[in-house]
Structure 1
Amino acid sequence: MILGWTQRIFTLLVVVTLLAACADEVVNPPKELADIEEKFSVQSSWVEVIGQGDEEKFNSLSPALWQDKIITADVDGLITAFDIKSGKVIWETNLKQPLSGGVTANAGLVAVGTKNAQVHVLDVNDGKQLWHVNVTTEVLAKPAISDGRLVVRTPDGRIFAYSLATQKQEWFYDRIIPNLTLRGTSAAVATSGVVITGFANGKMAAFNLRTGDMLWEQSISAPRGSSEISRIVDVDSTPVVYSNYLYAAGFNGFAIAMDLTNGRYLWREDASVTEELLVDARRVYLVDTKGRIVALDRITGEEVWTQEGLLYRKPTGAADNQDYVVVGDFEGYLHWLDKSTGEFVARIHLDRYGIGGTPIVTDEHVIATTRYGYIHVLENPLATSSEE
């Protein structure tokens, strides 16, 4: 029997993941945490169960923010909106479908993807189901909502764009993908009338949001090895737009900065990245596949510092907290690092289950979810100083 592409890739990835996990246990044990001198303490505000978690981190069910609400999703289909200050449940909606794609909240709407190849759109105020669309396969990346359109990326190399007004498909793009890929998908970023996303062949491309016409395409990763596994070049991290430039990174490839209008490189540096990038006015912060946290100069791409204190601890992408970055790890710790030096300045242990995605930082709170289905909302330790 000939397997479909989804089953074939998933089967191969299970084998690769198991082999890699065994190898890491023997060759690359997670680094023990060193004692640090803490510059400030971090306090919990509230903790709630948000449903069944994703222990294997195969799904990217990160929450979304909308005004005073945190919207979460669990793998069994439960969508919940919490009051960010009190933790009180504002509404709950059970889609009764396995979810896989993370939550997006924008323009008064919530959008989430399922393993059953659907994207559901809800009212952000009361959780009412408004409409849904069918796509070609499971949705592993957050949908994008921008300029009156819903944009969906699927792991089979396709992009779908729908009108929010009519719920009709406006355009569609199809890209052939390699036989063997990582289990993940670069989310589409929609901004200023442009859609940008990465593909499993190592390419990054920009499209006109209204028409779907391709504006430019560039290579982020290129196959380098002789085996099929070593030649995996997925671009799974979500691109970041900052000051008319696009920043992105790929697996077994590069971290890059390019002109958003034409795709021309500003700089390109060797890197292997699957977690989300963080970009601020001075630097690009990335977490590579070995667990190193690296700061690069935003304009030149030159390395500013590298922190190896979380090697093989599966750190999350970095979140911005004023003069610090925040990352989680596989044992349930959140770490604060100085943006200028990369030194650890604070740490808190949330639980033993591991942080499930890039933390979210607001003026008053730091938000993290764990792989077993808990949401932790902490008091932002810098909130007082930011108000002075």
Structure 2
Amino acid sequence: MFTAACRSDARFFAMGLVACALLLGLVTSKVALAAEADAAPVASSEVPRSTAMSWPLYRGDATASGVAASSLPDKPEQLWKFEVNGGAFDATPSIVDGTVYIGDLDGKVYALELTTGKKVWEQAFEETGFIASPAVRGDLLFLGDINGKCYALERSTGKTKWTFDTEAEVDSSPNFYRDYVLFGSQDRFLYCLETATGKLVWKFGIEDQIRCTPTVVGDRAFLAGCDSKLHIVNLEKGTAEADVPIDAPTGVTPAVFGDQVFFGTEAGVFFGVNWKTAKVAWKVVDESSSQPYRSSPAVTASTVIVGSRNRRVQAFDPATGNEQWSFATKQRIDSSPVIVGERVFVGAADGRLYALDVKTGKEIWQTQVTGGFTGSPAIADEKLVIATDRGTIFCYGKK
């Protein structure tokens, strides 16, 4: 998904890296976080998360864990494909109640049957496109477009319930807190809106673009910014709790497990940050390559797995940052991995979709399609759905 990249793009982002220039010498805020994640005032029933039958958010859940609750067959087979003539997808689908939702770069949003790939509806929006992945909450589908507009659509019909205008492109996928939906924008603000009406509750500004999806833990949000900081935001107040210098811009969506936040940067450095102390716990610098991370990590208690533009999938120890394994691919990895039991699934720019052993990195399964993957897998009901930059959505599972 494109929210994991602070970069220019030939189609839309010629000025992206200029706005994401490195800001060095930044000073860490001395504000430490007193709130514990398990003491948050949000009831678990209010927070969308992946289940065996659903994948409602870009990375599956509010913490951006990239971990599926559903299983997949040992050797997934292609069940269907849905082709959009002349289309292109950067987004990751969402899956809820047996329906797949996704927007494309040509300004259309699709709803498809998960079991068959049959189109339920499509809605076309003029002179725009969708890079950000959609998110589902209740009866509404939320997503932002390249013109800076945030939409709430009726899930049953695709009809617009409300819109909200920001001042620049929205690459950020939505996340949720209480009865609010959160969007980041290239205009450098994180917006908190009422889910029912789109009314602005507050907005929080940083020093440069926001391209990542805001990760939510309790009443805190985490933003990995193009201003070379990790920001920790109080969601009750819409104010800063702390920021941590990371020495380079990034648009990667941070993954959170326990006290740690994980993400990589445009400088090719991968971080583990303790969010409760607002300090870097460890970082990994690959001296052999300075290729950026534009893949968001997947994390469990025992591993954190991420793809890189250096044509590798890497696994790190969450506690120490020590590399557990590395798997070489033939092309860059911008797609974000998803952990499914003892396997991790990830797509590459050459159209290869891999399944690797979580503990060893050994290849277990592979398939290849025409086009490449920037978007990531969505997994529900023992099916994997992923879309290509050539306008095709694929579904894999058991025939």
- TM class, shorter-length: 0.7 to 0.9
Is 1:96 matched with 2:126?
A: yes
Is 1:306 matched with 2:326?
A: yes
Q: 1:348 pairs with 338, 359, 367, which one?
A: 367
Q: 1:290 pairs with 298, 310, 317, which one?
A: 310
For 1:95 and 1:253, the matched residues in 2 are separated by 36
* 1:378 to partner: Cα distance: 0.4
Is 1:45 matched with 2:79?
A: yes
For 1:11 and 1:245, the matched residues in 2 are separated by 34
Instruction: Look up the match of 1:129.
Output: 160
* TM-score normalized by the length of structure 2: 0.76
Is 1:150 matched with 2:181?
A: yes
- Going from structure 1 to structure 2, the CA distance change for 1:276 and 1:50 (only over 3 Å counts) comes to farther
Q: 1:45-66 CA deviation, whole Å, 9 max, x = no partner?
A: 1111256533xx7xx4221122
* 1:14 to partner: Cα distance: 9.3
Residue 62 of structure 1 aligns to a residue whose secondary structure is: coil
8 Å CA contact 1:327–1:359 kept in 2: the answer is: yes
* 1:290 to partner: Cα distance: 0.8
Instruction: Look up the match of 2:212.
Output: 186
* 1:379 to partner: Cα distance: 0.4
* 1:380 to partner: Cα distance: 5.8
Residue 321 of structure 2 aligns to a residue whose secondary structure is: coil
Instruction: Look up the match of 1:35.
Output: none
For 1:63 and 1:368, the matched residues in 2 are separated by 7
Is 1:64 matched with 2:84?
A: no
8 Å CA contact 2:162–2:197 kept in 1: the answer is: no
Amino acid at match of 1:44: Q
**Which one is further off, 233-242 or 101-110?**
101-110
8 Å CA contact 1:50–1:74 kept in 2: the answer is: no
For 2:85 and 2:296, the matched residues in 1 are separated by 24
For 1:188 and 1:52, the matched residues in 2 are separated by 31
Is 1:79 matched with 2:98?
A: no
Is 1:275 matched with 2:305?
A: no
* 1:162 to partner: Cα distance: 1.2
Is 1:200 matched with 2:226?
A: yes
8 Å CA contact 1:334–1:348 kept in 2: the answer is: yes
Instruction: Look up the match of 1:36.
Output: none
For 1:130 and 1:238, the matched residues in 2 are separated by 27
* Bigger radius of gyration: 1
Q: 1:367 pairs with 385, 388, 394, which one?
A: 385
8 Å CA contact 2:334–2:374 kept in 1: the answer is: no
Report percent identity of matched pairs: 20
Residue 230 of structure 2 aligns to a residue whose secondary structure is: strand
Q: 1:376-387 maps to which residues of 2 (within 5 A)?
A: 376-379=394-397
Instruction: Look up the match of 2:358.
Output: 339
8 Å CA contact 1:249–1:273 kept in 2: the answer is: yes
- Unpaired runs of at least 5, structure 2: 1-7, 19-72, 287-291
Amino acid at match of 2:276: T
Residue 372 of structure 2 aligns to a residue whose secondary structure is: coil
- Going from structure 1 to structure 2, the CA distance change for 1:344 and 1:112 (only over 3 Å counts) comes to same
* 1:97 to partner: Cα distance: 4.2
8 Å CA contact 2:316–2:325 kept in 1: the answer is: yes
Amino acid at match of 2:362: E
8 Å CA contact 1:120–1:133 kept in 2: the answer is: yes
Residue 102 of structure 1 aligns to a residue whose secondary structure is: coil
Instruction: Look up the match of 2:273.
Output: 258
8 Å CA contact 1:52–1:75 kept in 2: the answer is: no
- Unpaired runs of at least 5, structure 1: 1-5, 16-38, 223-232, 382-388
Instruction: Look up the match of 2:343.
Output: 324
* 1:168 to partner: Cα distance: 1.7
For 2:74 and 2:207, the matched residues in 1 are separated by 50
8 Å CA contact 2:106–2:128 kept in 1: the answer is: yes
Q: 1:227-273 CA deviation, whole Å, 9 max, x = no partner?
A: xxxxxx22211011223432222121532223333423333222641
Count of aligned pairs: 330
For 1:67 and 1:362, the matched residues in 2 are separated by 10
Instruction: Look up the match of 2:249.
Output: 234
Amino acid at match of 1:306: S
